[in-house]
Amino acid sequence: MTGRSLRYTLGWLLGGAMPLLAQGGSDLYVAAFHEVGTHVTIGRPVNVTNRIGYDNQPAFTVDGRALLFTSIREDAQADIWRVTLTTDGAQRITQTVESEYSATLTPDRLAITVIRVERDSTQRLWRFPLDGSAPTVVLPSLKPVGYHVWVNEANLGAFILGAPNALVLADPRTERVDTLARDIGRALVRVPGRDAFTFVQLARDTSWINEVDVRTRTVRRVAPLPPGSEYHLWTPSGQLIVTAGSRLLIRGRDRWDVLADFTASGIRGLSRITLSPTGDRVAFVAADEGVR
């Protein structure tokens, strides 16, 4: 390998990217999360990146004490970084001649997978072992991959770029790949406690959050999305939360209710959102307002 050498240190990680040519600045925020029954409360968000530039695609480590994320710095290279939530500063995890996005822990917790933009611009899924051994490509023929979600070792959901974009369900062991939907959004989210994940089915009138049962490879509608929303998460009790402008909305009985409104704090342009495995913190992406 020429250029910058591969360097990553992942043994302490025990703990989902579409590379775009034009990417705006963004910051990562973390807030306390509490759920008792169906009652959910969100604490005061803290900006954990707080710099001018692109910081996006957060994923918690297993212990919930750190975030992995994609960052683009002065060298214009997209790499995976790690920020510990109890200390200041971030560490670079990948430093390669390629760009890496959407760090996601594998089901066996022995590696992370990333979307890598290879030197010929091919976008494929790569596996980086936590022991520091050499990365390998997952499903070499599956491309161009934009986003992905693991349900278990036999079931991987992937957003495939195209005209239109497609949702596929793949088995990395057998290399079976089934196309389940087209004209989909970018959010792919694991449903807690079930062999399922959700995605967004785009439509001109109303887009929907749809669920894939990986055992039967069937799709069902779950809930209509508020206008302009796409990114969502599932709480441990099975409630849906979406980002919408400066607000977080939670799905009530046949409607979306305001869970939190950060307008007064100047936090706007909320997008990706994820919950810690321990269920006590939520992380989300918001528009970059510069260093505060």
pLDDT at site 130: 85
pLDDT of amino acid 2: 31
**Domain housing 206:** 26-285
Residue 107 lies inside a defined structural domain of this protein: yes
pLDDT score at 195: 97
Q: Rounding to the nearest 10 degrees, give the CA dihedral for residues 258, 58, 104, 274.
A: -20
- Residue 201 is assigned to a structural domain of this protein: yes
| Alpha-carbon distance values, 216 to 150, 157, 188, 212, 257 (Å) | 16, 14, 18, 8, 32
14 in a structural domain: no
User: How much is the pLDDT for 290?
Assistant: 52
CATH number, residue 265: 2.120.10.30
Per-residue pLDDT 10s for the chain (292 aa) are 333 333 444 433 433 344 433 356 999 999 999 999 999 999 999 999 999 999 999 999 999 999 999 999 988 899 999 999 988 789 999 999 999 999 999 999 999 999 999 999 999 999 999 898 999 999 999 999 999 999 999 999 999 999 999 999 999 999 999 999 999 999 999 999 999 999 999 999 999 999 999 999 999 999 999 998 999 999 999 999 999 999 999 999 899 999 999 999 999 999 999 999 999 999 999 998 754 4
Q: How far apart are the first and last CA of the chain?
A: 40
Hey, what are 161's tokens?
């770029």
Retrieve residue 59's tokens: 């994923």
- The answer as to whether 17 is a domain residue is no
Please give the pLDDT value at position 22: 36
Task: Name the pTM for this structure.
Answer: 0.90
Please report whether residue 290 resides in a domain.
Answer: no
- Number of folded domains in the chain? 1
| Position 225 in a domain | yes
The answer to whether residue 292 sits within a structural domain is no
Tell whether 13 is covered by a domain: no
